[in-house]
Structure 1
Amino acid sequence: MESLQLTISLLVSSLIVLAIRHHRSQITFHESKIYHDARHVPPTYPYIFPLLGSLPLAYLWDPKSFVLNSNNWFQARQPIRVKVPMSEFFVIQGAENIKAMFRNSAACTSIPFVKFAVERGFGLPARAVKLYDLDDSGGGHVPHPDSSVEARNRVDYRTHQSMSRFLIGEGGSPFWHRFADYATTGLCELHRRIGNGGEVQDDLMQLVGDEVMAPFLDAICGPHLLRLNPRFLEDFWEFDHHMPTLLKGIPRLFSLGAHACRTRALDAVKKWHNFARENYTAAALSSDGDDPFWGTKLFRERHAMFLDMDGFDRDAVASEDLGAIARNSISATSWTVYELFRDPELLRKIREETDSCVVTQSSGRIQFDIDRLLRLPLLQSVYAETLRLRMHFYLIRMPDKVDMAVKDWMIPRQKVIVTSTTAAHMDRKAWNTGFNNEHPVTKFWSERFLTSAAETGKSTFSVKEVEGSWIPYGGGPRQCPGRHFAKRQILLSTALIITLFDCDFLEPGLELGEDPRNFGMGVAQATRKVPVRLSRR
């Protein structure tokens, strides 16, 4: 009995000590929000267990609710330090803090996080992964002065630069024009194929995904990836679905399906690579530098670039190229089309806008004036709102050689910084929610990015007022280089679909949810299929 009483007494005493410690840490944390000297390390988020730190168990069940919980560290208005078991990181939220981080992020490296993604997600072989570990040259054009890495082995810098040159430089124009042509051709063929009676489609989201992804792949990779691998789209979407399992590092024995679909996707890329190597000649080059075997010069140049690096072989190049096939803008198009077809009045208004951009062709095939399309206020607002609501991603930075200033705070070098796009996009203090808060940030509102001019009453689109709060493409030197193409692709694909087709939902009133398993990995995946009847307009 005495032993039991002693045990209970010790337990109660321990709980009291922990409670007092937690209370004191909360007081210290909240006081530091008001009183701090310039350039101090941010305060630590309160936790109870000294050795364990914060235990975000709720994140495992409902990550989105965890991030948006008002008592969560992602809701802090200032930079904070978070201690978790075996590690710690810094969280930066709030528009002004985020803008300050972007301004100073040239001092950051992305190598640990890129390495994590290509190794776990895309199966980069260990001999190539090692090069990421050795690359201490930094992300700038001029390598760090204390780095001894050969120029050809600057894997992080060279990979990012090749993609930026292609998407932002002169290579992006022929790629875009091919995509526009292929997407128009494909959707016009679907329009012809379904006939006058319409056609039941099992899933609107998948239909849009396939109809937009196929021309994207043909435009960037050339026609032979899909020709040689007719199942590639199916395998790619299955691989994308299993990405959370792969990133968790679950052993192959316990995740056979995830590893099998990744292997099929990689084998398809290798088959295309082999065909391109065997058939490409300089005579195949077009005036824009692209060719029908490698597609864009991006992949032809990447192939030579990677094989020039230590540890890289053909298997490694396939992993890198599979990782270069982005699906976020494709998924965003599916969500945009879903929102328009479920709201007849909004659909009518958008069609009024897009119809004004149709260019008549002698062949009768539809074509849009893309420059006018990109200036449509309501369509742009729908695009921006879709990304605000559906983009769930963690922007991760790490100061490399020096500490990084974020306003009045200092983030120590070699410490991870995490910013949640979800927390920024759902910040009620930052967003227009209507005159009487009738449009909460948790719901889609097509006019959230519109302002009306007092003189004319005309609506204009702008994201300038929400800089640091609308961050679907990140920011700073490593802002997504594909953002301009993504906007064009989403707007044109949406305009084509709503102009060519009518769509009736077979389950009226369907509210489509987001799959929590993919939270934090980009544009949300839908929880279920959306059966529809698609008919000619």
Structure 2
Amino acid sequence: MALDMLQLLSTLGTLLLGLGITIALICGYTYLATLIPFQINARTRPDSKAQAQLAHSPPLIPYIVPGLGSTITFSNQNIGTYWTWLQSQAARYGQDAFAILLAGTKTNFIFSEAGISAVFKSRQLSRAKLDQQLGVNVLGMSKEDAVKAFPYDVDEKEKSTTARIHSEHLLSSSAVNALTGTFMETFRARLGSDARLGEGLEVDLYEWLWEQVFNSSTTALCGSTLLEMFPDFGRDYRTWEDNMLGMLFGTPRLFARTAYAARDATVQKLEAWLQAGYDQPLKDSEDPEWEPNFGARVMRKRHAFYQQQDLSLHAQAGFDLIFLAGILSNATPATGWLLLHILSPTSSPSDFRSRIMHELNSCHRQDGSVDIPALTRLPLLNSAFHEVLRLYVDLLVVRQVDSSVALGSHYVRQGEQVMAPTWMTHRNPAFFEKPEVFDPERFLAKDAETGKLGYSVTGLGGKYFPFGGGHYMCPGRTFAKQEVLGTVAVLLLNFDVTFVGFTGRRGGKHGFPGIKKNYAGNQVVGIEGDMRVRIRKRRTRS
């Protein structure tokens, strides 16, 4: 019996050894088979100016696992690590585009200025399949509903589209000003109703701020009924938001139960809210800018689109969830980063905060409100806002290649993917001096004729694109900016905010908060750590 067992173990060991050798041979062959063409392609230099202008396929980075390719290394959640490595390869080989095999699909990373500009203009690139994947994986839609929600054909003149809805009811001056006005009114009311702020309240700034901004933004967009029905809505939403990219990449439910549970709970709450709103329809003659059941007019117009597309209530809730995320998930951390830099005693220049306060005071009205149009013209504040976006946006502009096309000097084939990473351009020393440093004056500019100080991001093209570009440019960008600047202004003009110390993980210089771990492409990066401050309502205006 013992001898039989030894023979069995020996046979099993031989099989495992053989399997290991086979896997090693396959991986070794795969690496060599991808390394050699990479070296040839990456080191090839055009020998004439005419050849230099010809488009060629980006070099495919070698890998060892067939099918999986570079998926594991790309999935590194230490934000910036992969991009830093890729930047070193770009410098080593003199390339401004590379390709990787990502979950079986050849994915082209393009980070040349001309290439990115071409991505935004190309009609051979689209996003419908990717959006449908988001609908199924991240929002819990059925495949049928995902196709209805994100249709290929968006040019039907007789039908409404989300692009036209956003153009008219989110990007127009009247619409965005109305939305900002509701947000500011709600935000001021929330702060004014907290009696503790009268005597002074010590808080972790970003943790406290997140709740104030989230509730105010949600009320401005969705009305007051949603949070009245579900006061804990933000808790589930935040868990889902933190894990959104993992679900997009297809992380199985078994390994992300908390994330999927939060998604399901959030969607269920939105379903109940939608049904309650549909049960109390407005009269045909009514079309207010805001009402308590469905909030801003843009939400009601989106709901009409849902009905047009015959979406299930479950899919409608998921579609509302991603719309909320597009507005909230970037503006809130952007506000946090901006306030952290303004209030930190380690910020440079040393008079940064006092100069910001000087600008803000020029927009402060007698009733404590803020002149938003004037706020959006303040040179230093707006320069600092754009510097936050330059330094802390990790956006991946993702497109599918519907037909083979040259994007600048980069040739991509039908069926491949294109990704334009902001990290590679926003932190490129050829585009921005000392790119790893937060410089609030970076975008300041003097008018050549008047000599007046202002700010400018014009002419940066494919170097700087925090809101994406082209047809799919973020429709909430104007509201997001006004929301960020308005929040900063209300807080700093009406409250004394005193620095106490940094808390949590100290990932940055001098204990300044660091970047929260996540997958690449999570837009405005999360904040790891916090700043302890004391907030007290001002009794008199300074």
Partner of 2:533: 532
- Provide Cα deviations, 1:429-453, integer angstroms capped at 9, x if missing partner: 101x3xxxxxx21121111111346
User: In structure 1, what is the Cα distance between the partners aligned to 2:190 and 2:480?
Assistant: 19
- Structure 1 residue 369: Cα displacement: 1.7
- Structure 1 residue 267: Cα displacement: 2.1
Higher mean displacement: 37-46 or 85-94: 37-46
User: In structure 1, what is the Cα distance between the partners aligned to 2:306 and 2:462?
Assistant: 35
User: In structure 2, what is the Cα distance between the partners aligned to 1:284 and 1:475?
Assistant: 37
- 2:47 equivalent to 1:31: no
Partner of 1:349: 355
Structure 1 letter corresponding to 2:355? K
- 2:490 equivalent to 1:496: yes
Q: Pick from 304, 329, 332: which aligns with 1:330?
A: 332
- Provide Cα deviations, 1:148-171, integer angstroms capped at 9, x if missing partner: xxx76xxxx823332333211353
How many matched pairs? Answer: 499
- Structure 1 residue 230: Cα displacement: 0.8
- Asked if the contact 2:70/2:100 (under 8 Å) is kept, the reply is no
Q: Pick from 375, 378, 381: which aligns with 1:379?
A: 381
Equivalent residue of 1:471, what SS? Answer: coil
- Structure 1 residue 456: Cα displacement: 7.4
Taking a change above 3 Å as real, the CA distance of residues 237 and 468 of structure 1, as seen in their structure-2 partners, is same
Q: Pick from 126, 130, 133: which aligns with 1:116?
A: 133
- Structure 1 residue 100: Cα displacement: 2.5
Provide TM-score, normalisation by structure 1. 0.83
User: In structure 2, what is the Cα distance between the partners aligned to 1:380 and 1:172?
Assistant: 18
- Structure 1 residue 293: Cα displacement: 1.8
State percent identity of aligned pairs: 23
User: In structure 1, what is the Cα distance between the partners aligned to 2:258 and 2:91?
Assistant: 34
- Structure 1 residue 470: Cα displacement: 1.3
User: In structure 2, what is the Cα distance between the partners aligned to 1:410 and 1:253?
Assistant: 39
Equivalent residue of 1:451, what SS? Answer: strand
- Provide Cα deviations, 1:26-74, integer angstroms capped at 9, x if missing partner: 2432224666475544242352659569536443443411112233469
Structure 2 letter corresponding to 1:294? F
- Asked if the contact 1:125/1:315 (under 8 Å) is kept, the reply is no
- 2:292 equivalent to 1:292: yes
- 2:457 equivalent to 1:459: no
Taking a change above 3 Å as real, the CA distance of residues 256 and 84 of structure 1, as seen in their structure-2 partners, is closer
- Asked if the contact 2:71/2:101 (under 8 Å) is kept, the reply is no
Note the residue ranges of structure 1 that are not aligned, 5 or more in a row: 144-150, 434-439
Structure 1 letter corresponding to 2:41? T
- 2:474 equivalent to 1:477: no
- Asked if the contact 2:137/2:250 (under 8 Å) is kept, the reply is yes
Root-mean-square deviation (CA, aligned residues, Å) is 3.3
Partner of 1:64: 80
- Structure 1 residue 18: Cα displacement: 6.5
User: In structure 2, what is the Cα distance between the partners aligned to 1:195 and 1:101?
Assistant: 52
Equivalent residue of 1:168, what SS? Answer: coil
- Structure 1 residue 187: Cα displacement: 3.0
Structure 1 letter corresponding to 2:388? T
Q: Pick from 383, 397, 400: which aligns with 2:399?
A: 397
Structure 2 letter corresponding to 1:166? H
- 2:183 equivalent to 1:179: yes
User: In structure 2, what is the Cα distance between the partners aligned to 1:89 and 1:498?
Assistant: 45
Alignment of 1:78-97 (within 5 A): 78-84=96-102, 86-97=104-115
Structure 1 letter corresponding to 2:354? R
User: In structure 2, what is the Cα distance between the partners aligned to 1:268 and 1:48?
Assistant: 44
Partner of 1:164: 167
Taking a change above 3 Å as real, the CA distance of residues 15 and 315 of structure 1, as seen in their structure-2 partners, is closer
- Structure 1 residue 488: Cα displacement: 1.1
Equivalent residue of 1:530, what SS? Answer: strand
Taking a change above 3 Å as real, the CA distance of residues 296 and 44 of structure 1, as seen in their structure-2 partners, is same
Taking a change above 3 Å as real, the CA distance of residues 24 and 194 of structure 1, as seen in their structure-2 partners, is closer
Structure 2 letter corresponding to 1:234? R
User: In structure 2, what is the Cα distance between the partners aligned to 1:341 and 1:531?
Assistant: 11
User: In structure 2, what is the Cα distance between the partners aligned to 1:245 and 1:452?
Assistant: 44
- Asked if the contact 1:74/1:423 (under 8 Å) is kept, the reply is no
Provide TM-score, normalisation by structure 2. 0.82
- Structure 1 residue 16: Cα displacement: 11
- Asked if the contact 2:132/2:146 (under 8 Å) is kept, the reply is yes
User: In structure 1, what is the Cα distance between the partners aligned to 2:53 and 2:450?
Assistant: 46
Higher mean displacement: 112-121 or 170-179: 170-179
User: In structure 2, what is the Cα distance between the partners aligned to 1:409 and 1:167?
Assistant: 35
User: In structure 1, what is the Cα distance between the partners aligned to 2:63 and 2:255?
Assistant: 34
Partner of 2:211: 210
